[in-house]
Structure formats: structure tokens, C-alpha cells
Chain A
């Protein structure tokens, strides 16, 4: 066990090192002034208060959606529909306050519940199809999400568009409802506390409850879990639904925290980034916090270097690919069809 943990640390160090190295190589290849770009990428996010605020603000949705990914992965279900769940959950969170009006905290609670329900239904649909028909949730969740993204695109640009704005966005929610900015002009807001609390709750759920125990058991060995009398079908539908709900909440955090409305494309890859974060954290809810910090640090670095030296934001995509390529090396996040889990 000990040896295995050191192996995992080695793989993690290797992954993070490769990501940093890839960043350097990309800057070397594309930046006119390598030293300055290096400073902007690695130093500015922690030295410049504006970028540091954005770094912390970026962590909230990543932790929340990352928890959603972890719930699915820990039970050996692949939710590839996170992007559509974040996007449609965020739209629900933006529309509910408009329907009710006012800025009572209950409206905010209702908006978050609506976001969770919307994302949860999308996730549950794939869980249901897998449980009842054996349809691969990896493909169905992607297809459902693709339809959801395009439908939300339509709703934001069409029926729910704020006619007074030049942006393709819904009417902003009441300013009293949106989370207070903690550190203007950066976008750091109170939503980070909700995400941290969710990570804490997730840790409790995973390690201290029967649900968490059975969920992880199903992830480790579904056949054994079934022999032990666990309803393993339940641990297909429930984790997919919970995963979708948490992604929906991440969308609500983006709307209430950063944007104040649902803008076209606001989810901006959060669902995919969350996969990288959850894998870096090895599906451990507490480890999501440092993993989200690291990931957000790279994002803030990419944002800062882009402002400073005319380099396209696509370097973040390449760095993300490097992380995903190495992060599951050797030890899989769950032993998919490994030796003990033959079907």
C-alpha cells in the first residue's frame, strides 16, 4: 500500500512537471520575449492581486463540477456530459430569479435548487439508459449534453435574450442576489465558500456514510458489491444524477458569482476542466481543493500571458491535454475492466 502511494505521488509529480514543461516549451515557441512571458505565466497569477483574485474565483466552479465528476468516477460511471449540465443548470439559475422577482435569499435557494434539478435530470437520463438498456453512459451523456448545449444556445440567443443588451445574454439577476465581490476588480466572490462547503460535505459523504462506502465499493468491484447484497443498479442512476446536479450547481455558481446572467457560451469548458481536476485529485473530495487551485493557477497564468504578450489562449488547451494524458498513468482512477472486474 505504501509503495503504491509513493507510485501515485511519482505519477502526480510527473504529470504536474510535464504540464509545467509543456507550458515553458509553448511560451518558448510563441512568445517574443521568453523571460517576460515566463514571469507573466508563472509569477503574475500569485504576485498580481487582480490575477490572484481571479485564480481563487476560478476555483469555486471547478471544485463543484470536479465533485460531480468524482461522484461519477468513484462509482465507475463515466459522465462526459458535464459541459451541458453546467450550461443548462446555469441557465435555470439565471431564469428562476427573473420569474420570481425580488432579491429574497429564498429566490437564490430556489435558483440553486432549479440548477441542481436541471443538471441532475440530464445526468440521471444517462444513468437510467445504462441501468435499463445497458447503453454506454459515456456516449449517451455526451449526446444528451450536445443537444442541451445547442438548446441553451438557442434559448439564450432567442426567447430569453435581454433585448436591451448588446450581448447574447439573459436579463441580469437583481444585483442584491448576485454574490458579493470580495476583492474587486477581480471576480472573487462569495461562491467560493459554497464550493468549499460542498467539498467538505463530499468528503463526509464519501468517507463517513453508507452511501459513500457502497458507492466506492461499486466503483472498485461491481460484481463483489452485488454479491454483498448492494443494489448496484441504484449506484448507476444515483451517482449519475448527483453528478449532473453538482455540475448544475457549478453553473449556478458561475451565474451568481461571475456573470450575473447566463451569457452565450458562459460554461466555457468547465465540464471538461472538471474532469482534469477530479483526476488530479484522484476522486478525493478534499484533494479537489488543491487540484482546483493548481488548475486555476494555470488558467490565470494563461490569461495573464495572453493579456501581456499576444499569445492565444489555446496554450491552455495543450496544457490540459498534457495533464489528461499522464494523470491516469499506471494507477487508473478506477480499475476499468482490470483483473478483478471482468464482466
Chain B
């Protein structure tokens, strides 16, 4: 394979691997802006992956699979978010609860629905690549940007819509105000808790789609298949300066590292455990470098939930 060919394949793989990270990180962004770091992203993703697989295997539709994954994660997010707010519980501890519940309940339900607590495969057509016929012929960009599935393109649309919602609507302004100064939001006659809950539910919708975007292209559900991406997405929120475009860039860099380590595994002969550790080590390193160089601000932002 020529050097340029390899680079194109790597970039295309990175663009595709970026999708679950981007969707989850956008979800994390809404919650972060409302004042709470959403450490349940990992569990919400896993719920999305499982219910996405369940819905797609039942209906045969990839679209309904995505919708099912999003809906299930949104319900989990609503349940844990409203319990946290109503009980004035510690959001980090209830977030851990949501993560543990997600992985436990997925195994329990998997045994019920599929008769196994292990890998579930099902028949599903390949996800379509709507732009490939028209634009796939463009040199380099065609393969990298347009030879992708509609789920990948939908994630870009989600980033644009998130930006519009956050930066250009009254809802977004109040959401940001909730994180920056909840008392002012109350004083203006709005309920900060409603915006916090809305942010958590939006987190759920997006993280659920992120999970489904893992299981549906594979036509398989693998236990714990989110494998830490929810945590890496949280790092991407910080590294992306809490802005959708920055987050997209951070996610692309992480995805490029992931694609490269998968590719390099062949000739570097690294043990698989190290390949799996690379995303965590890379995001830790990026967090340190980013903080030292650019004052990314990786402390917990915003004000109290409790």
C-alpha cells in the first residue's frame, strides 16, 4: 500500500471511529454547561448499544435501532437525573450507580431476550453510505469524508444542531446561565433544576445514539462494548474548550490515535492490552499537555447541583 493510500485509509477509519466519541461528548457538553460533569456517559452509551441492538434485531431497521438506543438511554438519564435532583443526592455517586446499573441490567436483559450474557449477533443489513455514489469519487476527501455511513453524517449534523441550540437559542442561553449562575436563573423566574434535567436527558439521547452507533454497524452487541469511551468523551469536552467545534477536533484526534494503534498493532507487535490502554493513556496525556500549554481548564466547572 502506498504511503498516501495508507494515510487516506487511516483518516477514513478515524472519521468513522470518531462518531461514537463525538455523539457522547456532545451529550457530555450539555450536562457540563448546566453545571454537572456527567460521569454516567459510559453507562448511557452501553444502554444505547444494548437497546439499539435489541430494537434493530426486532425490527430489522437501523433507524429504529438508533431511535431505540437513544430512547432507552434517555429514559435511564431521566430516571437518574430526576432522582439526583429530587433527592439532592451527589451527582457523581448517582452517576456511578447509573453506570453499574447499565452494565448489570444489560447482562440480565441479554439473558432474557437473547438467551446469552455474552456476545449477541443478529442479522442486519449494512448501514448505507448515502453520499458515496455522488461524492465518493473526489480524490482523498471522497474516501475520508463521504465514503461514510449516514450515522457518521448524522453525528456531524448533531454537532451543528448542538451549536445552534447552545449558542443561538433562548434555551441554550438559560442552560449556560444555569451552569454559570443558577441564582440569576431563579431570579429571572426559571427553574434551574428543569434546565439541569433537560441537559441530562439530552446527554442521554446523544450518548444513547453514540452507543447504538457502536453496535449497529457491527450488527452485534458485545458486553461492555463502550469500553471506556464515555470517560474519554468527558476528557474531549474539556479539551474542546466546551465548544462543539473544539470537541469535534478533540474527538478526531483521539479517533486518529485509536485508528493508528489498530493499524500499528500489526507491525509493532504490541500486546492487545496495550492497544486497549492507548486511548486512556493518550487522553490523560492530552489532558496534561492541554492544561499546561493552553490552560484548558480541566477542573470541575460550574456551580452546585445539591
Measured CB to CB, the residues of A under 8 A from B are 26, 30, 78, 80, 129, 133-136, 138-140, 142-144, 146-147, 150-151, 153-154, 157-158, 272, 275, 279, 312, 314-318, 320-330, 332-333, 335-339, 342
Q: How far is the CB of B191 from chain A (nearest CB, A)?
A: 18
B303 contact from A146, A157, A321, A337, Cβ within 8 A: A337
Known: A139-B235, A146-B277, A314-B108. 12 other contacts (CB 8 A): A30-B108, A138-B92, A143-B284, A147-B280, A154-B271, A312-B117, A314-B107, A317-B103, A317-B105, A330-B87, A332-B306, A333-B90
A138 and B39 contact, CB distance less than 8 A: yes
Q: Counting CB contacts under 8 A, is B292 at the interface?
A: yes
A327 contact from B93, B111, B305, Cβ within 8 A: B93
Contact (A318, B105) CB under 8 Å given A146-B277, A324-B97, A336-B306? yes
B281 and A329 contact, CB distance less than 8 A: no
Complex: A336 Cα to B235 Cα, angstroms: 21
Complex: A327 Cα to B88 Cα, angstroms: 11
Cβ contacts under 8 Å, B300 to chain A: 136, 138, 337
Closest to B97 in A: A324
B273 contact from A26, A150, A327, Cβ within 8 A: A150
B93 contact from A147, A315, A322, A328, Cβ within 8 A: A328
Q: How far is the CB of A281 from chain B (nearest CB, A)?
A: 14
Q: How far is the CB of A103 from chain B (nearest CB, A)?
A: 32
A325 and B89 contact, CB distance less than 8 A: yes
Q: Counting CB contacts under 8 A, is B126 at the interface?
A: no
* 24 A-B interface contacts by CB (under 8 A): A78-B92, A133-B291, A139-B298, A140-B287, A142-B231, A143-B280, A143-B287, A144-B284, A150-B273, A150-B276, A150-B280, A158-B271, A272-B100, A314-B117, A318-B101, A320-B100, A320-B104, A324-B94, A324-B96, A325-B97, A330-B88, A332-B89, A336-B90, A339-B304
Across the A-B interface, how many residue pairs have beta carbons closer than 8 Å? 152
Q: Is the interface of B mostly helix, strand, loop or mixed?
A: helix
Contact (A147, B101) CB under 8 Å given A139-B298, A154-B273, A154-B274? no
Q: Counting CB contacts under 8 A, is B98 at the interface?
A: yes
Contact (A135, B291) CB under 8 Å given A275-B93, A321-B97, A338-B304? yes
Complex: A275 Cα to B104 Cα, angstroms: 17
Complex: A275 Cα to B83 Cα, angstroms: 19
